[in-house]
Amino acid sequence: MQREKKSTRNGAEPVASKGPEEVQDNATPHAEPGPLSTKAYDKAMKELHVELVKLQEWVKHAGLKVCIVFEGRDGAGKGGTIKAITERVSPRVFRVIALPAPTEREKSQMYFQRYFGHMPAAGEIIIFDRSWYNRAGVERVMGFCTEEQAKGFLQGVPLVERAIVDSGVILLKYWLEVNPDEQTRRLKGRIEDGRKIWKLSPMDLKSYNRWDDYTRARDDMFKASDSAWAPWFVVRSDDKKRARLNMIRHLLSQIPYEEAPREKVKLPKRHIKSGSHETSYPVKYVPEVY
């Protein structure tokens, strides 16, 4: 795959922010492409997975610290996109953080405190499936924090993120946007599919009729935190396959990496005596039903 020109963002010099792309809630501002075949998707994803492995090896080799934040509408495809990123790489390098609701003790701490302990060390890529931006979104809309607390967060978050970037962390923030009709279709699909019902939380149901409130909260968040050192990138996710491909390609373009040096791998010779691979112990085999 021909890679896009790499950004020089490394935490030392901020890049000029162009702001997140304009988000339209009820329409896509460009012509819809035709359906993407499974074959084409799998081919493109395989190429991107190869590049993600190269990125992983370079992050370990160079000691980079990468933090990726995923936010977005309910049903926008955050989980599937994160799975597409991580399914072919090491969980010791790509670590996914999905924190539960804060405990009473955590509620009494400084708001950012429980997130700081998960920041990447050298050679790590941390992915936040929801992040400190809960305060700007669900907490604000659903009344889990006061308006004063939400505004205080929006005022302080650019300074906190500047400190994160100045410490050498490459910070990337993605917002996944889905239109209301597609969101409805996906949430109904969770209700009707026994494999997906666990994805539908009570909070999803309570949030469903607050579309406009979430839109206002999202726009306030963009205005306050779309900074030169930590810009927001919006992913249109009405088409899940294209969203995953576009997002991963963009991610690769934002982190400077090369192919890490490594010795050529060659399996050594192995000697097995006849029958030595069979065990004499009366093991209990799993029934071969399929």
Task: Give how far the C-alpha of residue 227 lies from the chain's centroid of Cα atoms, to the nearest Å.
Answer: 19
Per residue in 86-118, pLDDT (tens digit) is 999 999 999 999 999 999 999 999 999 999 999
Residue 20 has pLDDT above 50, yes or no: yes
Average pLDDT, the chain: 89
Rounded Cα–Cα distance for residues 128 and 173 (Å): 10
Rounded Cα–Cα distance for residues 242 and 37 (Å): 11
- Mean pLDDT for 203-209 is 87
Residues in the chain, how many? 290
Per residue in 219-259, pLDDT (tens digit) is 999 999 999 999 999 999 999 999 999 999 999 999 999 99
Residue 51 has pLDDT above 70, yes or no: yes
Residues 6+ apart with CB under 8 A from 153: 111, 132, 135, 136, 145
- Cβ atoms of 15 and 228 within 8 Å: the answer is yes
- Mean pLDDT for 135-156 is 96
